[in-house]
Structure 1
Amino acid sequence: MASEKETSDAYNVISHKMCDLRERLENEKDKTSRLLTANDQLKAELEQFKGENEELLTRLSKIAGDRLTTDNPNITDLSDPNRPLKLGEKYSELYDNEWTDAFDCLTESGYTEDEAIETLYLTLLNVFEFCEKKAKQMLKKTDDAVNLLFDEYRKSAVLKDVPVHLTMSRKQLAKYCKEQSTIEDMQLQKRWEPSRQSYVDKNEPENDKEAESKHVKVEEQMTKVRKEVSHSILPIVQRAYMEASWRKQCVHGLKPFILQCLYVGWMMVVQSPPMCFKTALRGDKFDSNSFKQYTCTGSIVDFVVWPALMLHQCGPVVGKGVAQPEKHQ
């Protein structure tokens, strides 16, 4: 049998090995814990990078989309109920419905068919010119108002040694300064100037173009805004035209026609680029791609009943017009 000394030595060896094993196990646990923590951090950073990447892609896509669709009539926002294709449909409905009712009312009130056709044709063109003029004025006046707002402010500030908006009062400064007991009114502009007279500004440009008075162009941005609010502005457009044009003596059946012309006309001019009409002169060759025949067939135009609706100047036809060909002798 083994002696007590041998047993004790064996026990000590086993004990040391167990301690080493526990120590190594603890070290492995610590290492595993650190690796898991690092892994979690990497996962969190990866998710953050993914989010930032998606945000950047979204912004890039929006910028690219805006650049692509700006003044590009071939790319349409399908969520827009007043997009050109839909306007073409409403334009055709206007002729089929309101135009027919207005035509009947005019003929019943004593006008000949030719007079009624001419009246409705000229009414449409007059409404369109009104909408076109007001849409342009809206951009011009907004552009002028923006520049006038800051131009008047700039001029008033130049007349003073220190503009009022650059003078910080004690009350304003108290919000930011710790030593409130020493606060006095401060002219912020003075803090923009060097404290030492010997200071040389290495960043000063030779010709400070930023200081030059420039007219800010807001037309492109306002064109988008005008389109976005076009439906909200429509009742104002209709009211302005009707209040300036309508009288009690007018044939009441014309009113729905005029209001719908204002709707189509206003939505035409706020497109980018704006939509327009195509007409034809007497004697022109009949264009079946742009016009439908009125009451007879022929190859030469006698008169236009209803102009064609174009996507833009020299663009494709969105809504066919109606023209009367010359009758065969």
Structure 2
Amino acid sequence: MDEKPKPGSLKTKSFEFVLEKFFDEFITVWYRERIVGATVYDKARREIDILKDKNTKLTKKKGEKTGDDASTGRRLPSAGSSRSQSDPKPGKRKGPPADVNAANRLTSEGSRNVESRLEHDVQLQNKELVQKVNHLKQKVHEIRADAHYELKEKDGQIEKLKKYLENLREQNNDLSKRLSKLAGDKLRQGNPDLADLSDRYRPTEIGKMFSEVYDNEWSDAYENISKMDEDKKVGILHGIVTKAFNFCDKKFNEQTMTVRTTLLGLEQESAEDNRPDNESQGPQVGNKTERFTNIQNILKDVRKELAMETAGNVAQQFTPTLGQYVSGFGIKPNEIDKTLRIYAAKCVELCWLMAVCDPPMALSEDKIGNPYDTNIYKPYTRSMKDLKNPVLELAIWPALRLHLGGSLVAKGVAQPGEGKSKK
């Protein structure tokens, strides 16, 4: 039995076109996979149709000639047979006449000549088809190679353009952020009334957190201070928050002096001498002052960025100060309650956030005996209805201002009392 031809082997039977076989097993697949285009596919299809028409016509002519030769051959013996039947003596049969034998020989030779010519034509045709197939194969390979090369080249260009576009976007975003930040910083510099809404620790937010400390940590610490009357308890807690504020302000100034000395080689001076407008020292010191101003602006940004991390470190440094302070009220360092330590640490953290603001925030002075201002304080436990001349009798929780002498951010808490009547 004949083996079934494998796809792409181009094993054809005698009546099959090589080109048509190639088209079915190669070009059709390549076109479906978009390796070759519609033009190549269409040209190959039309070429096959033309060749099939030629082959059909050639086969038809061959069949007509073969049929004519066969009819002539059949008629000649038939004439001899009729003459043999008319012979009155059937026992003695004569051989075919000489002209019949000659006709048969001519017919046989003619058939062989036609078959030979047809075979020669088919061989030529097959040769031409093979050449065309090879040509198409070469063309397909060229198209495939060119398409693959162009596709690969385009992919490389697309990747380069994507990276270039991404870099441009990053640069644009970076420049936009820097420009926006510079414009915002320049606008807000020295202007506390303009807040950076992207800053988690802007003054208004610090004011909210400061009030929450009084509502939560202050209350917990107050409940756990024992063996003292109310005035002493609230006095200790008020003293801790003011001590924490002064401690952070001192640390802030020390840090600024250290930067000034380390980076610029200038001697440590007072906080007033650090101001950029102090230009009484001549050009050299003026240049250093200008450089210091630039460094100070950078330091402000760094302090803001690392405010909470730094606040935790400052709170740890405040621990000895807390021990010394409460010892004056008869509380030993090892007897300090956990809630009191948490309260003190929270006060230091918020006071450090106040210190790194530009300008720094400020607490109210809370002087005993000053007129009681309800715009600044909320009453503690006593009502003011019966007070004719209310004064600040006991400071409970300081008020918070945007800066020294600035607008109020959060009210304080104080106990009102009756002041001396004016005569």
Match of 2:239 in 1: 122
Match of 2:312 in 1: 235
What is the TM-score of this pair, normalised by structure 1?
Answer: 0.60
Q: Are 1:80 and 2:199 counterparts?
A: yes
Q: Is the CA contact 2:369–2:419 (under 8 Å) kept in the aligned structure 1? A: no
- Counterpart code for 2:376: S
**Alignment CA distance shift 1:145-1:55 (3 Å):** closer
Q: Is the CA contact 1:292–1:321 (under 8 Å) kept in the aligned structure 2? A: yes
Q: What's the CA shift for 1:96?
A: 0.7
Q: What's the CA shift for 1:63?
A: 2.9
Q: Is the CA contact 2:378–2:411 (under 8 Å) kept in the aligned structure 1? A: yes
Mapping for residues 177-326 of structure 1, pairs under 5 Å = 214=288, 216-217=291-292, 218-242=295-319, 245-246=322-323, 247-298=333-384, 299-326=390-417
Match of 1:68 in 2: 187
Deviation string 1:54-86 (CA, Å, 9 cap, x unpaired) is: 988766544322211112211112222211111
Q: Are 1:147 and 2:224 counterparts?
A: no
- Counterpart code for 1:311: L
How many angstroms apart in 1 are the aligned matches of 2:346 and 2:175? 43
Q: Residue 133 of structure 1: which of 250, 264, 267 is its match?
A: 250
Match of 2:63 in 1: none
Count of matched residue pairs: 220
- Counterpart code for 2:260: D
SS at match of 2:363: strand
**Alignment CA distance shift 1:245-1:323 (3 Å):** closer
Match of 1:112 in 2: 229
Q: Is the CA contact 1:139–1:223 (under 8 Å) kept in the aligned structure 2? A: no
**Alignment CA distance shift 1:104-1:79 (3 Å):** same
The sequence identity of aligned pairs, in percent, is 33
**Alignment CA distance shift 1:53-1:105 (3 Å):** closer
Q: Is the CA contact 1:297–1:327 (under 8 Å) kept in the aligned structure 2? A: no
- Counterpart code for 2:212: E
How many angstroms apart in 1 are the aligned matches of 2:173 and 2:338? 57
SS at match of 1:286: coil
Larger Rg: 2
How many angstroms apart in 2 are the aligned matches of 1:296 and 1:281? 18
How many angstroms apart in 2 are the aligned matches of 1:213 and 1:89? 41
Runs of 4+ displaced beyond 6 Å: 50-58
**Alignment CA distance shift 1:58-1:241 (3 Å):** closer
SS at match of 1:302: strand
Mapping for residues 3-14 of structure 1, pairs under 5 Å = none
**Alignment CA distance shift 1:293-1:69 (3 Å):** same
What is the TM-score of this pair, normalised by structure 2?
Answer: 0.47
Q: What's the Cα RMSD here? A: 3.0
Mapping for residues 19-58 of structure 1, pairs under 5 Å = none
Q: What's the CA shift for 1:241?
A: 1.3
Q: What's the CA shift for 1:283?
A: 3.0
How many angstroms apart in 1 are the aligned matches of 2:383 and 2:307? 40
Unaligned runs of 5+ in 2: 1-164, 267-282, 324-332, 385-389
Unaligned runs of 5+ in 1: 1-46, 150-208
Q: What's the CA shift for 1:263?
A: 1.2
Q: Is the CA contact 2:382–2:415 (under 8 Å) kept in the aligned structure 1? A: yes
Q: What's the CA shift for 1:304?
A: 1.5
SS at match of 1:261: helix
Q: Residue 210 of structure 2: which of 65, 74, 91 is its match?
A: 91
Identify the structure with bigger relative contact order (alpha carbons < 8 Å, sequence gap 6+): 1
Between structures 1 and 2, the one with greater helix share: 2
Deviation string 1:174-229 (CA, Å, 9 cap, x unpaired) is: xxxxxxxxxxxxxxxxxxxxxxxxxxxxxxxxxxx78x984531223212221221
Q: Is the CA contact 1:301–1:323 (under 8 Å) kept in the aligned structure 2? A: yes
Deviation string 1:111-168 (CA, Å, 9 cap, x unpaired) is: 110000111111111111111100111111012111249xxxxxxxxxxxxxxxxxxx
**Alignment CA distance shift 1:244-1:324 (3 Å):** closer
How many angstroms apart in 2 are the aligned matches of 1:115 and 1:244? 19
Deviation string 1:242-275 (CA, Å, 9 cap, x unpaired) is: 2554432323331111011011111011100000
- Counterpart code for 1:265: C
- Counterpart code for 2:399: A
